Amino acid sequence: MSDFEVIVGKSILSFEEGAEERAPSLKRFGFVQTPDTRSKRRLYEVLQSQGLQMNQAITFLSDGDDTLRELQLEMSPKATHILDWFHLTMKLTGLGQYGKGLVQCEAMLGEAIRDKIERLKWSLWHGQVDKALGKIDDLESAIEPFSETYARFPKLVKALSALRTYIVNNRHVIPNDGERYRNGEPIATGLVESTVNEVVSKRFGKKQHMQWSKEGAHLLLQTRVRTLNGELGAIFQRWYPDMDLEVKETPLAA
């Protein structure tokens, strides 16, 4: 069985202050894009079910995946599209682990490099992309003395190169997260990451020794998101109006 890509997300509609006090509307969605011929329509229907009008302000946060970004842009090109801080920090955390290894090789120089990594993080937090790229250049030069003494040096070089490519490819959607955070605006998709665990769960994990076709996985995802969204009962009632159905909406077991 070949690998395939699953796209999962969560749409959160918050209500403005002063409006009738209500909890945010939250809807999950998920699909396997290749067999799904209506992915744009599927996402549109999720937003529509929350009463969202297409002329309202929409913010899309994603991990920088080209396929997902294309879908978002096609869906609402005038929306705010940003790279979420969560995925940037994941990559920076990886660099930080390499930095700890450098300190063990040579304390003072290693600490200096760890400080450069923190300064890189500061630049990205404030949306200073050009400065961040310059600091990656500085890091590449600073780590050279460890080329013979640090066992993970090749992996560190590869990680820096990958981070540079990631930043360059997403530079147009890297915001000033510090400013957004101070203004109470969303900066990260931590909630979406939890949705991956809810919707995909361990059913799709390699340790389960289960093989999924694209079509089968796609259909399972539709069942799971409708259950999690509390919509499955209404669908059965619509399909079988003459049957006395008592459907309790409970999350599917992982």
Domain annotation covers residue 244:
no
- Do 92 and 169 have their domain in common? yes
Helix (H) or strand (E) holding 224: helix 214-228
pLDDT given for residue 254 in this prediction? 37
Domain annotation covers residue 250:
no
| Contact (Cβ atoms closer than 8 angstroms) between residue 68 and residue 7 | yes
CA-CA distance, 249 to 226, in Å (whole number)?
Answer: 9
Count of structural domains, the chain: 2
Domain annotation covers residue 184:
no
Return the sign of the alpha-carbon dihedral for residues 125, 131, 134, 138.
negative
Domain annotation covers residue 183:
no
pLDDT given for residue 213 in this prediction? 73
Domain annotation covers residue 109:
yes
Domain annotation covers residue 181:
no
pLDDT given for residue 166 in this prediction? 94
Q: What is the mean pLDDT of each run of 10 residues along the chain (254 residues)?
A: 68 60 69 66 75 74 77 76 88 91 90 94 96 96 92 93 94 93 82 63 54 72 75 72 57 41
Domain span at residue 151 reads 85-173
- Do 92 and 79 have their domain in common? no
Domain annotation covers residue 61:
yes
Exposure string for 164-183, b = 16+ CB within 10 A, e = fewer: bebbeebeebbbebeebeee
pLDDT given for residue 18 in this prediction? 45
Beta bridge partners of 12: 26
> Which whole-number Å values give the CA distances from 99 to 114, 118, 153, 154, 172, in the listed order?
5, 10, 11, 13, 28
CA-CA distance, 203 to 194, in Å (whole number)?
Answer: 15
